[in-house]
C-alpha cells in the first residue's frame, strides 16, 4: 500500500512540511502529493516511533481498494475491449449498434434470442468485443461521475451528410476528458449527399486527424443501414484494443461495475454487471454498491443461463437484497458473512453520507483546495450566446496562471447550459461558466443535485476577474 506525503502527515498528525523535511533528512526527496513506498513510510514512522502495521490498515468497506490490488504479471491474460458508441442524435448510433449485433452475434449461437441487458458481446474470429448498449454520452458520463470508468474505446459516429454537430463535439470532449481512445465511424456513406472528406476536415479542428493526413485517428467509412464497413470497424476496434494491451486476471474473485439495474416483479433485484477483473460465478457472495447478496442466477446477453463470467463479460444477475445503481462497483468476497458485514456497513455509511452535504468544487472553496496542493488544473466549461464570446473567454481564462494552477477548458459550446454540461462538470470536477446564457430547467435541477457550481456573467472582464480572484483566494464573499 502507498500513501502520499499529505496522507501520511494526516495519519501522523503532523504538518506535511515537517514530513517533507524529515524525508529530506532521511535522503528522500518528496513533494506533498507524491506517493511514498512502503520503505519510505516505514522510515518516517520509525523516526516517530510509530508502528507501521496499524497506520496502513486498509478500509475493507471501500470497494475502490479492491480495484487497486495489482495482479502478478504472469497471471494476466488478454481481455476483450469494452466499447461505447457516441455521437450526435440521428447520426446512426442505434443503427450501428444493431448492425454490429446482427452481423456478428456468434453464428453458433444464432438461435439465441438477443436480450437487452445493457451490453452485448460479439465474436470476431475468436476475439471478443463488448459493446455498451446505451448509446450517447449521458450513460458514459453518469458512470464516470460515479467514479466508474469502464469504457476502453469510444466510437464516435458522424453522419457524412450532416457533419460535425454540437453533440459530436460533446462526445469528443467527454471521451477526451476520460482519456479514452477515439475511433471515428463516418456513417451514412450510402447517401448521395454524403461527404466524408468534409467530416474529416471538420474533425481536424478537434484534434482528430486521419492517419493519411499525418495524424493518428482511425476513420472508418460505414453505412450502418446497409451493413457496409461494419467488419472494418470491428477490425479497427480490435487493432486499437491490441495497442492498448488490455489485460485481466481470470483467476481471482471478480470485481466490476453495474451497467444497469431494476426491480423485477418475479425475480426481485436484477442487475447487469460488467466483470472487469476475475471470474464471477453463480453462488458467489457479493457486495454491489451499497447492497449485497449471493449470485443466484446469471444470464448472458443471449438470454442463456451461464455459470461463470470472465473479464469484460456482461451478465445479468439476481440474488441481491436491494437494487444497486448504474455505475456502482461490485466486489466478490471470500464468504457470505464478510459480504454481509461490508454490505451492511456500506448501506449505513451511504445513509449518513446522503444526510451530509456534498462538497464539490466551488469558487468559494477553490483557493482552499489549491492551497492544499491537491489541484493542478482548474477545469472550466464555457457556454455562451455566440462563438466569439466563447473564444474570447476561453483564451483569457487560459492565460490565468496563479500559483502554478492552470485553467483547463474541457468543453465549450454555444447555447443554454444543459444537463449534459452538468454531468460532464460533475464527472470532471469542473465549474460551469455561462455568458449571456442560462441553465435550462433540467440543468438547474441536475446542478443542484450534483452540487455543480454555475457562474453566470454578462461582462467578459468580470468573468475573468472573478475566476482570477477566486484562484488568489480574494473572492468577495457573496451574501
Ligand atoms: P441515433 O439517434 O444516433 O441512434 O440514430 P439512429 O440509429 O436512430 O438513426 C437515425 C436515422 O438515420 C434512422 O432513420 C436511420 O435509419 C438512419 N440511418 C442510420 N444509419 C444510416 C445509414 O448508414 N444510411 C442511411 N441512409 N440512413 C441511416
The predicted pLDDT at position 24 comes to: 84
The predicted pLDDT at position 198 comes to: 96
Minimum mean pLDDT range among 34-48, 206-220, 268-282, 458-472: 34-48
Q: How many CB atoms lie within 10 A of CB 203?
A: 25
Cell triple for residue 404?
502554478
Confidence of residue 479 (pLDDT cuts 50, 70, 90): very low
Alpha carbons 418 and 429: distance in angstroms, whole number: 16
By most ligand atoms within 8 Å of CB, the mutation choice from 85, 87, 90, 92 for ligand 1 is 92
Alpha carbons 183 and 208: distance in angstroms, whole number: 9
Which amino acids are annotated as binding site for GTP, given as ranges? 87-94, 133-137, 187-190
CA 236–ligand 1 middle distance (angstroms): 21
CA 109–ligand 1 middle distance (angstroms): 27
Give the residue with greater pLDDT, 158 vs 470: 158
Whether 110 shows a pLDDT value over 90: the answer reads no
Cβ 250 vs Cβ 278: under 8 Å: yes
Distance of CA 191 to the CA centre of its chain: 34
Cell triple for residue 232?
472494418
The predicted pLDDT at position 14 comes to: 87
Looking at residues 299-307, what average pLDDT do you find? 92
CA 394–ligand 1 middle distance (angstroms): 34
Whether 107 shows a pLDDT value over 80: the answer reads no
The predicted pLDDT at position 56 comes to: 44
Confidence of residue 133 (pLDDT cuts 50, 70, 90): confident
Mean pLDDT, the chain, as a whole number?
A: 88
Q: What is the pTM of this model?
A: 0.71
Nearest CA to ligand 1 atom 9: 92
Nearest CA to ligand 1 atom 17: 92
Whether 364 shows a pLDDT value over 60: the answer reads yes
The helix (H) or strand (E) run that includes residue 263 is strand 255-264
Looking at residues 355-367, what average pLDDT do you find? 67
The predicted pLDDT at position 357 comes to: 47
Looking at residues 341-360, what average pLDDT do you find? 75
Alpha carbons 261 and 457: distance in angstroms, whole number: 40
Ligand 1 first shell, C-beta below 6 A: 87, 89-95, 135, 187-188, 190-191, 223-225
Listed residue (397, 445, 392, 436) closest to 418, CA to CA: 445
Listed residue (257, 27, 3) closest to 132, CA to CA: 257
Residues contacting residue 376 through CB under 8 Å, at least 6 positions apart: 404, 405, 406
Measured from the Cα of 157, ligand 1's closest atom is 3
Confidence of residue 416 (pLDDT cuts 50, 70, 90): very high
Given the cut 0.85, state whether the ipTM is greater than it: yes
The helix (H) or strand (E) run that includes residue 38 is helix 38-48
The predicted pLDDT at position 48 comes to: 84
The helix (H) or strand (E) run that includes residue 338 is helix 336-355
Alpha carbons 99 and 227: distance in angstroms, whole number: 6
Whether 310 shows a pLDDT value over 90: the answer reads yes
Whether 355 shows a pLDDT value over 70: the answer reads no
By most ligand atoms within 8 Å of CB, the mutation choice from 156, 161, 162, 224 for ligand 1 is 224
Cβ 273 vs Cβ 314: under 8 Å: yes
Q: How many Å is the Cα radius of gyration of the chain?
A: 24
The predicted pLDDT at position 268 comes to: 93
Whether 440 shows a pLDDT value over 60: the answer reads yes
Looking at residues 18-33, what average pLDDT do you find? 85
List, in sequence order, the alpha helices (H) in 122-265.
137-145, 166-177, 196-204, 230-244
Looking at residues 128-136, what average pLDDT do you find? 85
Minimum mean pLDDT range among 107-116, 192-201, 374-383: 107-116
The fraction of the chain above a pLDDT of 90, given in percent, is 59
The helix (H) or strand (E) run that includes residue 18 is helix 16-25
Beta-sheet strands, E only, within 280-394:
280-281, 285-288, 291-299, 305-306, 308-309, 314-320, 329-332, 377-384
The fraction of the chain above a pLDDT of 70, given in percent, is 91
Whether 284 shows a pLDDT value over 90: the answer reads yes
Whether 358 shows a pLDDT value over 60: the answer reads no
Amino acid at each position: 500500500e502507498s500513501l502520499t506525503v499529505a496522507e501520511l502527515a494526516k495519519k501522523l498528525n503532523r504538518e506535511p512540511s515537517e514530513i517533507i523535511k524529515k524525508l529530506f533528512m532521511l535522503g528522500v526527496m518528496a513533494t506533498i502529493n507524491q506517493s511514498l513506498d512502503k520503505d519510505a513510510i516505514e522510515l518516517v514512522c520509525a523516526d516517530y516511533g510509530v508502528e507501521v502495521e496499524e497506520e496502513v490498515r486498509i478500509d475493507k468497506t471501500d470497494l475502490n481498494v479492491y480495484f487497486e490490488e495489482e495482479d502478478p504479471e504472469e497471471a494476466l491474460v488478454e481481455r476483450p475491449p469494452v466499447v461505447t458508441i457516441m455521437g450526435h442524435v440521428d447520426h446512426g448510433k442505434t443503427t450501428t449498434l444493431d448492425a454490429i449485433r446482427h452481423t456478428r452475434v456468434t453464428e453458433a449461437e444464432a438461435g439465441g434470442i438477443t436480450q437487452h441487458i445493457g451490453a452485448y458481446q460479439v465474436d470476431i474470429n475468436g476475439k471478443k468485443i463488448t459493446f455498451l448498449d446505451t448509446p450517447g454520452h449521458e450513460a458514459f458520463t453518469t458512470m464516470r461521475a460515479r467514479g466508474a470508468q469502464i469504457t476502453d474505446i469510444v466510437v464516435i459516429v458522424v453522419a457524412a451528410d450532416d457533419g460535425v454537430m454540437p453533440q459530436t463535439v460533446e462526445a469528443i470532449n467527454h471521451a477526451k476528458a476520460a482519456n479514452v481512445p477515439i475511433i471515428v465511424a463516418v456513417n451514412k456513406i450510402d447517401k448521395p449527399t454524403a461527404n466524408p472528406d468534409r467530416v474529416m476536415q471538420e474533425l481536424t479542428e478537434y484534434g482528430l486527424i486521419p492517419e493519411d493526413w499525418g495524424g493518428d485517428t482511425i476513420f472508418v467509412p460505414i453505412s450502418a443501414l446497409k451493413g457496409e464497413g461494419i467488419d472494418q470497424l470491428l477490425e479497427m476496434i480490435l487493432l486499437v484494443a491490441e495497442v492498448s494491451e488490455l489485460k485481466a486476471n481470470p483467476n481471482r474473485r471478480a470485481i466490476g461495475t453495474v451497467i444497469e439495474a431494476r426491480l423485477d416483479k418475479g425475480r426481485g433485484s436484477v442487475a447487469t454487471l460488467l466483470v472487469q477483473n476475475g471470474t464471477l460465478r453463480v453462488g458467489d457472495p457479493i457486495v454491489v454498491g451499497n447492497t449485497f447478496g449471493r449470485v443466484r442466477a446469471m444470464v448472458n446477453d443471449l438470454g442463456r443461463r451461464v455459470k461463470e463470467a470472465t473479464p469484460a463479460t456482461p451478465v445479468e444477475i439476481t440474488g441481491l437484497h436491494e437494487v444497486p445503481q448504474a455505475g456502482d462497483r461490485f466486489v466478490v468476497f471470500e464468504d457470505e458473512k464478510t459480504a454481509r458485514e461490508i454490505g451492511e456497513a456500506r448501506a449505513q455509511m451511504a445513509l449518513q453520507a446522503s444526510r451530509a452535504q456534498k462538497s464539490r468544487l466551488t469558487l468559494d472553496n477553490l483557493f482552499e483546495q489549491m492551497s492544499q496542493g491537491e489541484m493542478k488544473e482548474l477545469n472550466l466549461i464555457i457556454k455562451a450566446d455566440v462563438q466569439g464570446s466563447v473564444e474570447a473567454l476561453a483564451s483569457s481564462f487560459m492565460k490565468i496562471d496563479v500559483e502554478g494552477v492552470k485553467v483547463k477548458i474541457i468543453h465549450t459550446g454555444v447555447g443554454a447550459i444543459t444537463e449534459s454540461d452538468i454531468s460532464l462538470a460533475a464527472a470532471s470536477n469542473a465549474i460551469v461558466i455561462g455568458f449571456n446564457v442560462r441553465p435550462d430547467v433540467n440543468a438547474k435541477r441536475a446542478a443542484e443535485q450534483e452540487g455543480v457550481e454555475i457562474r453566470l456573467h454578462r461582462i467578459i472582464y468580470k468573468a475573468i476577474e472573478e475566476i482570477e480572484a477566486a484562484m488568489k483566494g480574494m473572492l468577495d464573499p457573496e451574501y
